[in-house]
Amino acid sequence: MSIVLKNVSKIYHNGEIKTEALRKVNLSIEDGEFIVILGPSGSGKSTLLNVISGLDNVSSGTIKYNDKVISNYSVEELTKFRRKNLGFIFQQYNLLTNLNVEDNVKMGADISDNPLDVNEILTKVGLSGMKKKYIYQLSGGEQQRVSIARSIVKNPKILFCDEPTGSLDEMTARQILSILEELNDEYKTTMVVITHNPNIALMGDRVIKMNSGNIEEIIINKKKKQATEINWS
């Protein structure tokens, strides 16, 4: 499922103050790519993720998924589109503490038309022995793995990751990035990862560098690095 953005702008209004978060952005993302959107705070990278994923509306321009112009969709149509096609991983895990690991992951499977096997995915993210544990019994890294499992079990065409390692220590962050890398390789899931860490950018097929609402540069990594190879400091 390819994505094409054409002249996409996003303007926020606060009284008389106008903030241009995105300025006529043009971008295409192909099936199975591992894309890293890189930039400092306020560069527009999170806004870009939000409009690409239909979590926010554009002010002008168009966003197409194959032949579907989702920038024209209603709120209900966008909700249905996200549920059917997209997965999300955020810095906040958004897990239900009254459910155990297995049931949290099953929530992702239950809203999918073509889910993957829950036990297979739990094994894939290293949680097969923790299925009956509750969220409060898990470390931060383990909770992020549950979040990843819940998203990927939907079998999404595209997985959006907003600073997925932002609150994790180096060792755990590498483990999480390795899981995303493996899922991209094995399931050909398109990955769109937002980060301010330039070292993580070395894992991407392409790096979209953002600043002041513009795409400053697109870098093609001819030889990607694996999560185990990147520097962290």
Q: What pLDDT does residue 89 have?
A: 87
Element of type H or E holding 174: helix 170-187
Question: Residue 163 — left, alpha, or beta (φ > 0 → left; ψ -120 to 50 → alpha)?
Answer: left
Cβ(160)–Cβ(49) below 8 Å: yes
What is the distance between the alpha carbons of residues 43 and 38, in angstroms, rounded to a whole number?
Answer: 9
Residues of the chain with pLDDT under 50: none
Q: What pLDDT does residue 65 have?
A: 94
Q: What pLDDT does residue 167 have?
A: 74
The CA distances from residue 51 to 1, 5, 57, 60, in Å, are 16, 10, 6, 11
In CATH, the number for domain 3-220 is 3.40.50.300
Q: Give strand ranges (E) for 131-227.
A: 158-162, 190-195, 206-211, 214-220
H helices then E strands: how many in the chain? 6, 10
Q: What pLDDT does residue 171 have?
A: 83
Residue 97: how many other CB atoms lie within 10 Å: 10
Q: What pLDDT does residue 169 have?
A: 81
Domain map (residue ranges) of the chain: 3-220
Q: What pLDDT does residue 233 have?
A: 63
Element of type H or E holding 142: helix 140-152
Q: What pLDDT does residue 174 have?
A: 87
